[in-house]
Amino acid sequence: MSGYFASDSMAVRALGQRAVALTYGQRALVTGALHPRLFVGTAQHTSHRETPYTRLGLTARLFEAVFLGSKEEADRALAFTARRHAPVQGVMEVDGGVHHPVGSSYSAADPGLMWWTAAFTLDSTERMYDALVRRLSDAEREQLFGDFVRWATLFGMPRGAAPASYTEFRETFDAWLASDEPFLTDEARLVGRHIAGVQGYHLPGRLVSSPVLATVVQGSLGARVRDAYGIGWGVQDEAAYQAICLGSRLAHQRVPLLARTPLLRGRSQEFYRIVARSEQSLVRRGGVSMPGVSDAIARSAV
């Protein structure tokens, strides 16, 4: 049954590549945490502080349902998201820098913040496809941009909140990243370092704790974002990252039989569920998935 996006659309082709689907979310969250109102608005309303990876997996499954699912599946995901977003509004209780001081308002219905959510996701999807599958052409970048604009409007964003073209998106996004506006709250820095695997991942199982994943996420961030998080990155780190990317691109482009198997392509919802089950199992045994974050509520209650 067909969905909102054609099977040959650039977004479907990109997110149908498992190398992209299993990495873009981490990168988007790490980069997006530099937007204080976006991060704080989400953090102050989440019901998953004890299980942050479960929340990340849920978000990924909802996004995948809209991009890759049938219209019925997508509509269920959109309705679920709308219910979750309805109460997300308030003011910042922590300082977010000069541009986002304490008391700054946020709302999940803010068109600007809705586009920023899409922008961080688009930027990471594009970057991971370039790094791990192949470089996109200019026309494909424009197509991917158009798909993400449509995706954001399905979630309720007015079309006018988005840039008019891919070129405008890239110019404004890169200018923002180079400006003095990006700012990390203490919690955002801690969460981002965990998601980037700076101290390794604390979840059990090689699939969700691979050092390769940490290398890919950190290497894809770029110097400005790594510096913001205090992530050290040397020649050996860059060499390891480039080697992983080259191996991935070769597997996708030079080994066609492998590239057509479910190993590299298809929906990734079951992988997201594995991450959630791994985290929930850890928590049931008294473990902590993100020290300093997922145990913060318990510590504050003591």
How far is the C-alpha of 207 from the C-alpha of 67, rounded, in Å? 24
pLDDT band for position 143 (50/70/90)? Answer: very high
State residue 1's pLDDT score: 58
* Token duo for residue 29: 């969250």
State residue 209's pLDDT score: 64
Q: pLDDT per residue over 206-231, tens digit each?
A: 556 678 999 999 999 999 999 999 99
* In contact, 229 and 194? CB cutoff 8 Å: no
Continuous H helices in the chain: 10-15, 18-21, 24-32, 36-43, 52-68, 71-85, 111-132, 138-154, 166-178, 186-195, 206-209, 211-221, 223-229, 235-253, 256-259, 269-284, 296-301
Continuous H helices in 133-234: 138-154, 166-178, 186-195, 206-209, 211-221, 223-229
How far is the C-alpha of 124 from the C-alpha of 197, rounded, in Å? 17
* Token duo for residue 145: 């941009």
Q: pLDDT per residue over 68-96, tens digit each?
A: 999 999 999 999 999 988 888 999 999 99
Task: Give the distance from CA 142 to its chain's centroid.
Answer: 20
Q: How many Cβ atoms from other residues are within 10 Å of residue 191's Cβ?
A: 23
List the single range of 2-16, 189-203, 254-268 with lowest mean pLDDT: 254-268
DSSP codes of every residue in 174-200? HHHHHSS-----HHHHHHHHHHTTTT-
Per-residue pLDDT, averaged over 273-292, amounts to 86
Q: pLDDT per residue over 145-177, tens digit each?
A: 999 999 999 999 999 999 999 999 999 999 999
pTM: 0.91
How far is the C-alpha of 243 from the C-alpha of 284, rounded, in Å? 38
φ, ψ of residue 148 to 5 degrees: the values are -70, -35
* In contact, 31 and 221? CB cutoff 8 Å: yes
Question: Would you give the DSSP letter of residue 223?
Answer: H
